[in-house]
Structure 1
């Protein structure tokens, strides 16, 4: 079955940031800071949605209570101005179901569910994992296909199969296989979001809806401009913005994105605080390099 979408479907809007989780200097959750940062991302950086407790939000090192608190306080801060997508994916289906139900109860609008990592299930297990989690709540689900972290891809056949589930509506893609994704887009109603900031423009060209970004903590508004330019047919304008933003799109990943995002936000006087072990805070040299990357993209990291 071929699907003719015309414009891309975008169940979660165009620009989504995988928000870092602010901590206080002592390493505890900074709930007030999370509210301030979320409001900044929505109102200044023009995000349509925020992913909370993704890998970038240090979900491996936050407790279930912290994850629920985060959803509740951010919902309070952004109201209905943006959607909240809760990262609930683990490599244990039963635990993921528990997290999904808790996120729904706390007020999330959607779920981000990563491929079960490290234990390398067969594709039949991957499909069952996603379907079981999607059955557990009434929320729309975005799958996260990231083979270099998970150890396995979500195969095209698996994506075609799980796309039939009414709650599975989108994919965050960090696999980078344009031909395979083109096939999935042609044969399903799944909405695709680039999971690599620098791949946003090429992804749009095959029908993607937008990006789940990291650098969008700093250039969300410009990234929205890029997407809007492309959608209105101004490909040259979109390409100009892509090239302008490339230094930050790639520079934010010189070390773990979370480390540099927190360094940049701290430099801007926005709430971020330290990272939790096993991550380590950015060095002075790394922060200086981030300032240079931002400057090259036309953004000044100043308070």
Structure 2
């Protein structure tokens, strides 16, 4: 379960329904063209928190059907509705997903004991490997090293999608729990995450930058730090431009420019303006030039 994994976008039709054909094209693009090691389905990038349970279920089915066993598949099934999370988790398990993932409960200011009981219940009722999804900037949930330790001690919790920038904490966690898997969650800091002990990364931009991310990861495994630094700088040129326009919208626009039917955004996300599309199209040229 180590390596570079794409946080998969979800192509929608203009009316907000799932774009089956486009979703399959996005899956194939990531596996066949980007060459990533795995796919993370139903996370923030996939706009899953704007979907109902039936749509999330259909998403999991289509991706598994298209990807088969070609790469590692992790299903993000987290929800404020614990029964929904458990149903989706059991479905993903039956479909053959390698692991589940669940975002920490958000919106309400849950205590750590409440958060812990959330993971205990999901893992007990699904009995499948679980990757904790920690993204404090969106959930407001900050956890200490001891907190992470308690979650990692829960049976079936195999690791953490660590979308935080406290890298000294990550280094300590990997030192304390060397057998657990930690994924970096900030694409513009992939190099720093791997150096700090991450076993890989799960990132939005790897639908476009998967090759570079894989090369960076491999360079660091071979102690080629200069090459890795250069690759991170190249990636960051694209990432900065994406962030200035809108990451998810830009991902979909550029993929469509490359011939992949990435579909529309889910309401209330807006589509790009004509000017923003022109800016996003510059990324197509940057990627084509390899600079």
Q: Give TM class, smaller chain.
A: over 0.9
Distance 1:71 1:265 in 2: 21
Task: Report the Cα distance in structure 2 between the residues aligned to 1:287 and 1:220, rounded to whole angstroms.
Answer: 22
C-alpha change, 1:250 and 1:174, in structure 2 (3 Å) is farther
Any idea what the Cα deviations from partners look like across 1:90-127, whole Å, max 9, x if unmatched?
A: 23333322221222233322112111111111111112
Matched residue of 1:56: which SS?
Answer: coil
SS of the aligned residue for 1:86 comes to: strand
1:53 touches 1:67 (CA, 8 Å); kept in 2? yes
* Structure 2 match to 1:186: 175
Give matches, 1:1-303, under 5 Å: 11=1, 13-188=2-177, 189-293=179-283, 295-296=285-286, 298-299=287-288
Q: How many residues are paired up?
A: 289
**Structure 1 residue 268: Cα displacement:** 1.9
What is the CA RMSD across the aligned residues, in angstroms?
1.9
Q: Distance in 2 between matches of 1:226 and 1:299?
A: 18
Structure 1 segments unaligned to the other structure (5+ residues)? 1-10
Deviates more, 1:264-273 or 1:111-120: 264-273
Normalized per residue, the structure richer in helix is 2
Normalising by the residue count of structure 2, what TM-score does the alignment of the two structures yield?
Answer: 0.92
Write the distance in 1 (CA, Å) between the matches of 2:120 and 2:260. 38
The answer on whether the counterparts of 1:263 and 1:281 sit within 8 Å (CA) in structure 2 is no
Deviation, 1:149, is 0.6
So what's the TM-score if we normalise by structure 1?
Answer: 0.89
Contact (CA 8 Å) 1:226, 1:241: kept in 2 or not?
A: yes
Structure 1 contact 112–141 (Cα < 8 Å) conserved: yes
Shift of 1:295: 4.0
